[in-house]
A and B are shown apart, each in its own frame.
Chain A
Amino acid sequence: MSGIIFSTWRDEFIDNRGKSSDELSESGFKLPETYHGDKNSKAFIGWDGVAIFDEDIDAVELASQYAAQYQEYSEACGRCAPGRWGGRILYDLLDKIARGEGSHDDITHLKEIAQTMMTTSKCEIGKTVPVPILDLMEHYKDQFDTCINGQIPSKHYAGDTTYIAKVTAPCTDMCPAHVDIPAYIEGVRDMVFTESLAATRQTMPLAHTCGRVCPHPCEDACRRMNLDEPISIMELKRLGADYETDHDLPWLHPVEPKPLRTDGKKVAIIGAGPAGLTAAYYLALEGIQSHIFEELPVNGGEVAVGVPEYRMPIGKYQKDIDLVLELEAVSITNNHRVDADRLKEIEAEYDATLLGFGARLSKKVRAANENVNMGGYWGAIEMLDKVNLWHKYDIGSPASNELEGKTVVCVGGGFTSMDVVRCSIREGAKKVVMLYRRDEKTIIRNTTYEEYHEAVEEGVEFIFHSAIEEIYDDGKNITGLKINMFELVPDPDGGRAQLVKKEGADFEMECDYLIPAVSQALDTQILPEEWNLEMTSWNSILTNGKDFMTSRPGLFAAGDCEYGPMTIVNAVGQARRAASVISRYIYDGKCTLTDDEIMEDHLNKLRVYDKKEKITGWMPGLPRAESEKLGVEERKTNNKEVNLGFTGEEALAEAERCMRCYYISMVAV
């Protein structure tokens, strides 16, 4: 049975007041009727309306408390005239009514101010805060009238209802690390780049990195898309990070790191990749000691040894790494492979252990005669390790020793495969072919438009709808491949289209190196068998996706080893949450979430971005800024960074396109 009494959320209107149980409407939205555990919500109020779950709701106090949040949140206001004074008057008048001192003139004034705020405010908070307040004033008018006519306080005024609020934005919600994107863009717009960086680092320590190689899911939730094109969110992140580096500033932390705790609590982190670094960072800001165990001689995980220099210069990534490792609370041991026995020791010694060892086993392509030990068969991870260790750290030998003048075939379709083919070009391969089961549109969706087009420009040959049937060798080395071609056949019943093999389209091709980059798996040998850790159906470590504790108490997992091969920003988001949970777990042995985290999860479930929303008050048709890239001849024989980043002018123009879509949401419990 639906617990919804009343709702104006988004385009829905539900009014179940006074209706019999068989007449009740239900909401199509995942509204937070239950706040957390067995705690129910009385109401949810936000930018797009209000939902009431408790008959006994005090609508006047709910409205005034929502207006109060507008005063509360520093990001929200003080930056425009309608918001700054309008928001204050909104709250003052609502509270006056709730106290029992209001008049009907106040209602008129409220409506007038609300109108100006909704039309002229700078950010969406100012524009949207009046929305649910006006809804309440209309649909719970009797409660307002009672207060005014009787000059009495609202029915539960200053009672025991708790109001829990959170500011979000569509982009922030969509970002797995929940970066305060409008704030860092505003820092660029204000040309106070330190503020921009501080905003990023609140939830994302890898500012250089995620200003370069993030697949930016946020941009798919940018409201600007409803008007013209999304903001170039990712690239604007570089400005703050570059500013710190360019001006040789001391590390700019979002908050002053707390003094190192002396209670002996310590956390072990397995792997110095994005997840491990992130967890160490946020634990350190809390003054909690952590020790990282890293198998490789170099730090940074797959982003260091997997992502090529031309995409992610190590000098920049190293800044992100140093930011973390130079904190007093963080220590690290390199060249230290943790196996199952060692993990048992570590787990016993530390108050909590976070697994962040990634997924670094190349999966097979599943073709006939596939032999991983055959000459010329080279897993993507191993190949990229070799390339990057040489170019970035002078470790090993150049991969051009193997690849120069050779025909390289990669099977893939994701970022890793793009790195493989573009590196192969740079290592001097004669011919580089990418085989992909699906089409061009999909490869662009799985990676980025730039990534695909730059690869094509550099001379990579893409064969879509293709797969290897059989691998040929001469007993020592791979010599060639038999390729099948497929076509996408629509399901006559309207189901998902099927890939069907095209008869007679098979062909053979020459091949010196076959580099499978279809996916990666995690190395489960590290996990002690007797722990019987629960795993997902795709064989990654299972957690509930909220507190990131595994089935073994005190053992947490984040990043690719938890999720399967995924993005940097996903690892960062998971690890930050895990660090937060761990920071409490090591003291009370419980897995708890903060109100902010609970709200974060509610909003994520509800979905903040509404792709159908019509945007008003902004000039459409202002093009998205594109940064300058190195020309193909300037880049394809070297490891120079391809993307030169925004000029100041481009960055400012782009920042000015940002509509600052902050929203306040609030739950009454």
Chain B
Amino acid sequence: MGVHNSINKGKAITVTIDGKVCQSTFGKTILDIARENDIYIPTMCYLTKVQPIASCRMCIVDVEGVDGMILSCQEKATDGAVVNTQNDELNKERQNIMKLYNVNHPLECGVCDKSGECDLQNKTMEFGLEEQAFTARDQHRPVENWGHVSYDPALCIMCEKCVRVSTEITGDEALQLKFGGYSSTIINVKQEKNYASLGEAAAVCPVGALVDTNFKYTTNAWELEKIPSACPHCGGGCQMTYEVKNERIYRMTNAFEFSNLCGAGRYGFDYANENVSKDAKAFSSAVEAFENAQSILFSSQISNEEALILQKLKKEKGYKLVSSEARSYQKFMQAYSSITGKSLYGGTLKGISESRAIIVLGTKINDDSPTVKYHINMASKWHRARVAYMHPLEDLEIKNIVTQFIKYEAGSEEGVAALLVETLLKDIEVPNAIRAFLDDLDIGNLSAESNIGEEELVFLAKSLIKKSGFSLVVGSDLYAHPKAVQIAKLLALLEEYAGFNVVCVPPAGNAMGISLICDLDDEAEGKTVGYNAPADFTLSALGDGDLDMPAMNQQEGTLTTNDKRVVPMNVALPYGGYVLNDIANALGLDAEYTIEYTKELPAEKGFEAQAFDSLPDYFDSVGNEHRGYLLKSIKTSVSRTLEEVSDIDGFDGAVIYNCDPTEQFSAFTAKCEALKMEAFLLGSKQFATATKLQDGESISFSIDGVRFDRVFKIDTSMKGTIALNPTFDMGLSAALLSSYRFSRLDFERAGK
């Protein structure tokens, strides 16, 4: 009988490849080990970030004592194996495969977008093929436009990379293989959705078959200047590269072999504040406004360095610093740290992707953080992870990932957290005070008020029967919750005592960086200056304020990511106006460039004293990330006291939930051409009945003093009495939204 795989996994082995003795561990493929040792094996279908596809057969190697040619991408190396990657026979077969790949492949490289960066082109050259050796009867297969991406089956080599990305990474599961031998093709089974995540699939296409529709036929790949950077939209800070020509961004690419970029990152690039020149008058008004101001309001769309400038100005001038999302997150994390004794949450994205069970609480994760959702999907596909999605709204978009939807009443998150913790810590040793707290919980009452059945919790506990690899993903619903402090402490117990890989997904933008760098205040007072937030004097990167500011793609600086990494952003497009640093200098600070502050980011919060220009920004040949540096988690003081769980303030009647669609995060993504969309208040038929609203009816309502004029639309896929209220179209005023994401809808009909 066999040996349990996991026993052998990780066992040290020695493998000899092309004469080089390589130390590795069991479980790795021959190709993995070759790449670790800088030994080249050609591939056409291999994509490091997914499981081996094994369609191209180019990676065949010879293993001594084993008959036949061995597929190195899929076959695991065994101890003592002696591998040869190059010989005449292997080369001949690889050459023959390249001949087959070239059967009927159109020779129109001159008009193909991929030309110059095409794997087929490169390998055809590498294997010295000068002509198409074989032909077959051609087939007529027209190009298909799938929205963000277009597919040309005639160019497709059926490597299956795109399908794997759609399945294993983004989880949209839109792309499938349609088998049929020579006429095999890729199909999009969810064309009506026009997923922006298909850009991820296009990114990995080795040929010109799956391409960005908007980019197609606009330029030659080799004419584009490549500017590596990080995505500023959701807080993921994903690696990406601006591709620029003549001061215009043509497209975004990324290190697709190892990392991912969601639709917003890929298509949300044209939001620069353009044609701005130095307006000396406006600048002096700005300086004056700062001199007179008592408070600075700002959104999360700023770099770490700018946050540090504001913090320094606070020290100099005594400003109140108000940035509501970051402030809520800061308070939440402070409470969290009081349990764990560490400044940062312990979890990582990789930890999520390696989980066997994941609980998602208080976030519409598919919309709030696509990159986190991708990692949950990876766990679902690679580890059959149980995924419990706890939220007041079911999300059909992630039904393929979620194994248990636990619906709770909006507002009841404290009770939900208590129930969850009580369930999951049942058989775990915890300090007496905490056990006493858990024992005192009135489960029946909490269950009734949150509307979570006890049998649902029993089922949840049962599904965690394999006793390792748990993740908890929590999000923005919780941070501005009236009971956020208590919720944070409760959930931190799971990291502290139950070994959960916990990720507290920061709100969009650089909220995490701000929360670490700035001493934030709860309320503004006196005269205000706003940076990407409306105030008495407004600095705006949208170009609609009192002084223009550069957008994120016009600045250099660093971002703090949800994977706790400080990553560099570079300038993609020029900016002719003043920047925050100019104002700071006028107010008495002294730095020639903003990035001089990179090395001054607070060490006591886990930043490193590294100069901007010394920050690395690459993945190595086996995919290790070398981008900036990882934040250090700092020891914090511990105070494990929990309050009694209070009665739950539920909502009666119709409720709205502030939530942007997957591709939208701010007024900046809203500006982008490829992502253009209208904002509606979306609700179910039941919501329409409860509110007596007609489909298409215009209404107005206010949240945190921000007035929304919305058209209501019925979405028949939705259920219940909670509607989705987007905020991406609200310009700078979205920065003023500071309260809990759910609110009761008190509206006026248009014309009243």
Using CB atoms and an 8 Å cutoff, list the residues of chain A in contact with chain B: 70-89, 92, 109, 112-113, 115-116, 119-122, 189-192, 229, 232, 239, 242, 246-248, 449, 614-626, 628, 644, 646-654, 656
Contacts and interface: CB of A to CB of B under 8 A. Distances in A.
Interface string B241-278: 00000000000000000000000000000000000000
B730 to A, nearest CB: 35
B399 interface: yes
A654 B71 CA distance: 16
Nearest to B72: A619
Contact of B96 (A77, A92, A116, A647): A116
Contacts of A190: 167
Given A619-B66, A649-B382, A86 B75 contact: no
B76 A622 contact: yes
Interface of B: 1-6, 8, 30, 44, 51-52, 54-58, 60, 63, 66-71, 74-78, 81, 93, 96-97, 100-101, 103, 134, 136-137, 157-158, 160, 167-168, 176-177, 179-184, 356, 381-386, 399-400, 402-403, 465-466
A229 B304 CA distance: 56
Contacts of A89: 100, 103, 134, 136
B304 to A, nearest CB: 37
Nearest to B95: A116
5 contacts: A73-B181, A81-B97, A85-B100, A112-B96, A616-B68
Contact of B383 (A79, A616, A647): A647
A92 B179 contact: no
Contact of A77 (B52, B181, B386): B181
A87 B6 CA distance: 39
B134 A85 contact: yes
A448 to B, nearest CB: 10
Q: B57, B68, B356, B384 — which one has the most chain A CB atoms within 10 A of its CB?
A: B384
Nearest to A242: B384
B1 A626 contact: yes
Q: B96, B157, B466 — which one has the most chain A CB atoms within 10 A of its CB?
A: B96
Nearest to A620: B66
Given A89-B136, A648-B381, A78 B57 contact: no
B396 to A, nearest CB: 11
Nearest to A248: B399
A81 B93 contact: no
A619 B75 contact: yes
Nearest to B105: A85
A78 B400 contact: no
A644 B60 contact: no
Given A74-B179, A89-B103, A617-B70, A644 B3 contact: no
Contacts of A617: 67-71
Contact of B100 (A74, A116, A616, A646): A116
A641 to B, nearest CB: 9
Contacts of B69: 119-120, 617
A122 B54 contact: yes
A624 B7 CA distance: 12
Given A122-B57, A229-B2, A648-B382, 16 more contacts: A71-B182, A78-B181, A81-B58, A82-B96, A87-B181, A87-B182, A88-B103, A113-B134, A116-B96, A120-B69, A618-B75, A619-B70, A620-B66, A626-B1, A626-B4, A650-B6
B167 A626 contact: no
A189 B136 CA distance: 30
B128 to A, nearest CB: 16
A656 B52 contact: yes
B441 to A, nearest CB: 27
A459 B485 CA distance: 52
B3 A623 contact: yes
A246 B3 CA distance: 28
Contacts of A239: 384
A85 B182 contact: yes
Q: A83, A617, A619 — which one has the most chain B CB atoms within 10 A of its CB?
A: A619
B680 to A, nearest CB: 29
Nearest to B100: A85
Contact of B5 (A73, A113, A653): A653
B181 A623 contact: no
A618 B68 CA distance: 7
B384 A648 contact: yes
Q: A191, A628, A653 — which one has the most chain B CB atoms within 10 A of its CB?
A: A191
A191 B168 CA distance: 8
Contacts of B136: 85, 88-89, 92
A646 B184 CA distance: 32
A648 B74 CA distance: 16
Contacts of A87: 181-182
Q: B4, B69, B160, B183 — which one has the most chain A CB atoms within 10 A of its CB?
A: B4
B383 A626 contact: no
A192 B180 contact: no
A441 to B, nearest CB: 14
Contacts of B400: 247
A109 B99 CA distance: 12
A232 B103 CA distance: 38
A190 B182 CA distance: 20
Given A80-B55, A92-B137, A617-B70, A85 B101 contact: yes
Contacts of B184: 77-79, 84
A633 B738 CA distance: 53
B384 A119 contact: no
B563 to A, nearest CB: 22
A247 B401 CA distance: 7
Given A92-B137, A109-B134, A82 B384 contact: no
A623 B56 contact: no
Contacts of B97: 81-82, 116, 120
B465 A644 contact: yes
Nearest to B403: A246
A92 B44 CA distance: 25
Nearest to A71: B181
Contacts of A449: 1
Nearest to B383: A648
B87 to A, nearest CB: 13
Contact of B181 (A76, A121, A247, A619): A76
A454 to B, nearest CB: 13
Q: B5, B30, B180, B399 — which one has the most chain A CB atoms within 10 A of its CB?
A: B5
Q: B44, B76, B168, B182 — which one has the most chain A CB atoms within 10 A of its CB?
A: B182
A82 B97 CA distance: 6
Nearest to A190: B167
A122 B45 CA distance: 13
A452 to B, nearest CB: 11
Contacts of A121: 57
Contacts of B137: 92
Q: A85, A615, A650 — which one has the most chain B CB atoms within 10 A of its CB?
A: A85
A191 B383 contact: no
A224 B144 CA distance: 41
Nearest to B83: A619
A188 B66 CA distance: 27
B182 A88 contact: yes
Q: Which 8 A-B pairs have the closest CB atoms?
A: A78-B184, A616-B68, A617-B68, A624-B2, A648-B384, A648-B383, A88-B182, A616-B67
A644 B100 CA distance: 45
B55 A79 contact: yes
A645 B202 CA distance: 35
Contact of B176 (A85, A192, A644, A646): A192
Contacts of B160: 79
Contacts of A651: 384
Given A617-B69, A618-B68, A625 B57 contact: no
A112 B51 CA distance: 31
B51 to A, nearest CB: 6
A78 B180 contact: yes
Nearest to A191: B381
A151 B413 CA distance: 81
A81 B179 contact: no
A619 B160 CA distance: 23
Contacts of B75: 618-619, 622
